[in-house]
């Protein structure tokens, strides 16, 4: 298991990589007591790609925490005709 410092260093590295990319979407969530707080920022990132990224984030969370009982609805990107 990674310690807090390793996680923060990895997060900082990923933020630096994102700033060099063609676009990025970052979501930061934190908890104070029982209250959850959410922040998101996107630069040159399509809304549909944000939704796809949230689906991938759900997969990562479930891989690390397979016992969660929360059932998250699947988001599907809009199709444009």
CA dist., res. 40 & res. 24, Å (int): 10
Model pTM? 0.69
* pLDDT tens for each residue of 22-72: 999 999 999 999 999 999 999 999 999 999 999 999 899 888 877 766 666
> Residue 78's pLDDT is what?
62
Q: Residue 22, class by beta-carbon neighbours within 10 Å (0-12 exposed, 13-18 middle, 19+ buried)?
A: exposed
Residue among 65, 38, 66, 67 nearest 54 (CA): 38
CB distance 45 to 25 below 8 Å: yes
Grouping H, G, I as helix, E, B as strand and the rest as coil, residue 25 is strand
pLDDT at 81 over 60: no
pLDDT at 73 over 80: no
> Residue 2's pLDDT is what?
72
> Residue 3's pLDDT is what?
87
Strand segments, DSSP code E, in the chain are: 24-32, 35-43
């Amino acid at each position: 298991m990674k310690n807090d410092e390793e996680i923060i260093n990895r997060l900082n590295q990923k933020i630096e990589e994102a700033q060099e990319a063609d676009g990025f979407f970052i979501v930061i969530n934190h908890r104070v007591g029982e209250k959850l707080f959410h922040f998101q920022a996107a630069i040159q990132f399509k809304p549909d790609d944000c939704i796809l990224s949230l689906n991938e984030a759900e997969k990562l969370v479930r891989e690390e925490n397979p016992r969660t009982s929360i059932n998250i609805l699947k988001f599907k990107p809009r199709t444009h005709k």
